[in-house]
Amino acid sequence: MWHVSTKRFALVALAASFLLSTHALAQDQDKDQIDNFCRRFAHQSTWIDDKLYFDGGYIDYGSHIDGSTVNYTNTQLLWADTTTTTDDFFPPMHDDLTKPTNVPSVAGGTLWADEVNKLFYLYGGEYNSTSPPPQQFTLWLFDTIYNTWNETSTESPPTPNSFGASAVDQNKGTAYYYGGWKSNATEVGFPGAPRLESGLITFDLNTKEWGHSLFIDDTPRGEGALFYIPASDQGMLVYFGGVEQSSSGPNGTKGPSGVPMDTIWMFDIGSQVTYSQKTSGPTPGMRRRFCGGVSWPEDRSSFDVYLYGGLSLFEEAQGEGYGFDDVWVLSLPSFTWAVLDNSTQRPHHSLSCDVINQGQMIVMGGYFPNSSDVRCDSSPSRGMHNLNLGANDVDDAIWYRYQPNLTYYSRPTQLTEVIGGESTGDLTLKTPVGGFDSPDLGVYMGRLAQTGQRTPNRALSTSTSPTAKQSPGDGADVGAIVGGVIGAVAGLLIVLALVFLCWRRRQERAEQHATKEPNGSQVGNMSTIGDSTVYGSPGGQNKQDFSGRSWATLLGISSLRGSPENTPQPQQTKWQPVPVHQQPSAQQYYPPPPQAQPFYPTPPAPQQYSTEEHSPVVEMPSVRSPTNVEDVRMASYRNGGSPLARRTGGTIHEE
């Protein structure tokens, strides 16, 4: 009996172990950013050597959005291979890169790409309640050759802000960060409400030295966009959009105001002088938290800045609804806007844009504030959408499948109809319609900066391709094959052990049954033994047909692969930076909330979290009680806080 009990215990233990492993596998699948992706927002991205990297922000899992959806802090670094596509016509996404727990996972930051040295730096952004800002800021870099994170030793680094504007001059090796929000989610011990900042921070990618420049004026600004163009002798920066601190906010209150999109600021890097210039023609509506990219034809006759989406500053006051879903292009030096897509169907913001090989711009994710849209954000492409900048495809479409071999830029027809010239270069309208507001700006815009002069200051390996977990349609790498073989062998051993124990148990039962038969012969019972479920012959009725059935089905797992609904655009679930709020202590990211909440249209500028202990369940940062959202909004404006936008509900956790 003891021998049988031991075997029974072993059988139960093995079965329990198997079930626990299956449950853990199912949980892992639930939080798989490739197989169970739903939405992503407030992240940062960059493109180096045909790899598009995504870091931080929030991630939602599942097949749709509802009141119980959780905004998880994304603690992974993912990348997409832009040299190829999956069956869904988008770059395959990989999640095989490691990210140590001491490397920050922030929202509203930036990745400064050093394309020459194959590195990128993580700067800015807001921390979450379970991982507050460090006492001393550390600049982290990721080495794309060795796929490792490293701390950068720098002297007197400035405390970063969140949701500022960022750009990199690859020719000189200088990174820029302008404005943004400062709060106790960006700086430990910061007192009071979040506030906008001014000043242009610089970081020399060659010497690792910090600097500071006066840009535009001393007015605090944030949530706009900054771009580098190789114009003038040493390059120029282009800035527009976002919000600025003013003495008169909405309805006569003091607080941030929108920045009209017909005002463009140009910073000449060589002279360190800022110029402003008015645009002509139709103009985009005021917006913040949009994304964009810049490209130009080979002759550099124009520099064309593309923008997409964004959040309107005062939705109700201006009747802008939930924000923007349109595409515009600003062409320089004519300072002319042209609209490429005036869609209003699914506005969203807090997304990322990356120009790939001059001709395409991948738009990733975004916060979709419309609570009636519960679909995921294009699950097959993991939230990626492609803007064909020149609409140079067979369908002449701006939104089009990704084309890995498109490596040049051509102007879209909507733009050449305004500025003249050809799609591949030349130009008719070479100055603003009303002339340059400053003659000096016209002189600088007529010059071209040298490019391609910078060389790496470290030894570079010839192999820069990381191995990866593959998306559907990819071939498996050696590591994946080895891992799969080991897993299969381990699973087979468990199954064989279970079969052996069952066989032994049935054999013992058969032997016991034979000894109890009166006047029976064990030999005479062979036919009975032969028909048992364990000894069943191939043609016996106990045989099961496993053909065409997956292991998931056979093992009772409903699905080993998530199948979120495929929709062109997501609607976001929650957060965005917002003003002051009590930060929950549950695993959640800084901006959104801790408990399931009803949906509200959009979120606002950066918020703060309290350093005090709180219950894991709390209200959404900026919403508080649904009945007085508008009161909280206006109170924030009157107190000089950031504009409150409505947001959707849900909880927030770290992975």
Give SS3 for 109.
Answer: strand
Q: Comparing C-alpha atoms, which of 128, 120, 175 is closest to residue 149?
A: 120
pLDDT at 396: 82
- 435, with CB counted inside 10 A (0-12, 13-18, 19+), is exposed
Cis peptide before 333 (omega within 30 of 0): yes
Whether 599 contacts 649, CB under 8 Å: yes
Name 643's Cβ contacts closer than 8 Å, sequence gap at least 6: 243, 249, 250, 255, 256, 313, 314, 579, 604, 605, 633, 636, 637
pLDDT for position 337:
98
H-helix segments, 524-603: 526-530, 551-554
**Who contacts 635 (Cβ-Cβ below 8 Å, separation ≥6)?**
none
- Bridge partner list, 256: 245
Question: Which one-letter DSSP state was computed for residue 280?
Answer: B
The counts of H helices and E strands in the chain are 8, 32
Q: What is the C-alpha separation between 65 and 568, in angstroms, rounded?
A: 14
Task: Give residue-wise pLDDT tens across range 571-596.
Answer: 333 333 333 233 322 222 233 332 22
Domain residue spans in the chain?
31-445
Read off the amino acid at residue 507. Q
**How many whole angstroms from its chain centre is CA 73?**
11
Contact 180, 125 (CB under 8 A): no
Identify which of 194, 298, 200 has the alpha carbon closest to the alpha carbon of residue 255. Answer: 194
The percentage of residues in the chain with a pLDDT greater than 70, rounded to a whole number, is 63
CATH superfamily of 31-445: Kelch-type beta propeller (2.120.10.80)
pLDDT, residue 636, reads: 38
Alpha-carbon distance 145 to 599, whole Å?
A: 43
Burial string for 175-195 (b: 16+ CB within 10 Å, else e) reads: bbbbbbbbbbbbbeebeebbb
Q: Which two tokens stand for residue 156?
A: 């007197």
How many CA atoms lie within 13 Å of 515's alpha carbon, on the beta-carbon side?
5
Cα 7 from chain centre = 51
Q: Which tokens is 617 given? A: 């369940």
Given strand 107-114, what is the order of strands in its sheet? 107-114, 119-126, 139-143, 148-152
Q: How many CB atoms lie within 10 A of CB 434?
A: 11
CA gap 325, 385 in Å, rounded: 13
pLDDT one-digit tens code per residue, 9-34: 444 444 444 444 444 334 445 689 99
User: Nearest-5° angle of CA 572, CA 101, CA 655?
Assistant: 35
- The C-alpha atoms of residue 649 and residue 638 are separated, in whole angstroms, by 25
Per-residue b/e over 526-545, b at no fewer than 16 CB within 10 Å? eeebeeeeebeeeeeeeeee
Strands 37-41 and 70-73: unpaired
Tokens standing for 324? 């923007």
Sheet containing 165-169, strands listed edge to edge, beginning at the edge strand earlier in sequence: 165-169, 174-178, 200-204, 210-213
Q: How far is CA 255 from the centre of its chain?
A: 29
Cα separation values, 580 from 43, 133, 195, 362, Å: 21, 16, 10, 33
Backbone angle region of 146, left / alpha / beta, with phi > 0 → left and psi within -120 to 50 → alpha = alpha
234 neighbors 172 (Cβ within 8 angstroms) = yes
Residue 43 near residue 56, CB atoms below 8 Å? yes
Give just the sign of the alpha carbon dihedral 617, 315, 63, 607: negative
Bridge partners of 276, per DSSP, are 265
Contact 466, 143 (CB under 8 A): no
pLDDT at 486: 53
What is the distance between the alpha carbons of residues 46 and 55, in angstroms, rounded to a whole number? 9
**pLDDT less than 50: residues of the chain:** 1-4, 9-28, 315-319, 464-485, 499, 506, 509-655
